[in-house]
Amino acid sequence: MSDVIYITGEGLQKLQEELDHLRLVERPLISKQIADARDKGDLTENAEYAAAKEAQGMLEMKISRLDDIIARSRVLDESKIDTSTVRILNRVKIKNKINNNVMEYQIVPESEANLKLGKIAVSSPIAMGLIGKKVGDTVEIKVPSGTVAFEIVGVSL
């Protein structure tokens, strides 16, 4: 997996904080659990020891995955993002042509998508339909309920 992951500075900071928490808080906690279980005697029939070792393996896998993501991450520079067309990190205001409902989304990397906050992944059907379009363009986007026409009302940072 050598693909570059584009991320915002805020997203990278959250990943780094999570990694630090796993290394500095969770790892010592599991090490202590293993030591406590080891002190209880026979390891062959010690369920606590087996559970703690399994938890340690899962934790190390999470740490390794986060290390890989951080190593492959490239921070997007918001100051260099153009708003003449829809691109990643843009806020896009769209109007549903059927019911005139206006929605605003920010197009973000997959790892930062959160629909409750109005952040949609760049790989989502809506974002993919909007990328490269300009204010005033009408796009047909295939969604689970069918195809919907949206008009791009605004593009900003």
Segment 38-63, tens digit of pLDDT: 887 776 677 888 888 899 999 999 99
Whether 2 has a pLDDT exceeding 70, the answer reads no
Domain housing 47 = 5-75
| Same domain membership, residue 65 and residue 91 | no
Query: 26-38: per-residue pLDDT in tens?
Result: 999 999 988 888 8
| Same domain membership, residue 136 and residue 68 | no
User: Burial of 99 by CB count in 10 Å (0-12 exposed, 13-18 middle, 19+ buried)?
Assistant: exposed
CATH code for the domain of 136: 3.10.50.30
> Domain total for the chain?
2
Residue 1 · residue 72 · CB < 8 Å: yes
Helix, strand, coil share (%) of the chain residues, nearest 5: 45, 25, 30
| Same domain membership, residue 146 and residue 85 | yes
| Same domain membership, residue 65 and residue 11 | yes
| Same domain membership, residue 87 and residue 67 | no
In this predicted structure, what is the pLDDT of residue 48?
A: 85
pTM exceeds 0.75, yes or no = no
Assign 22 a pLDDT band (cuts: 50, 70, 90). Answer: very high
| Same domain membership, residue 95 and residue 66 | no
Q: If you count DSSP H runs as helices and E runs as strands, how many of each does the chain have, helices first?
A: 4, 7
Residue 76 · residue 7 · CB < 8 Å: yes
Whether 105 has a pLDDT exceeding 50, the answer reads yes
In this predicted structure, what is the pLDDT of residue 1?
A: 46
| Same domain membership, residue 70 and residue 86 | no
| Same domain membership, residue 10 and residue 57 | yes
Query: 81-90: per-residue pLDDT in tens?
Result: 777 888 888 8
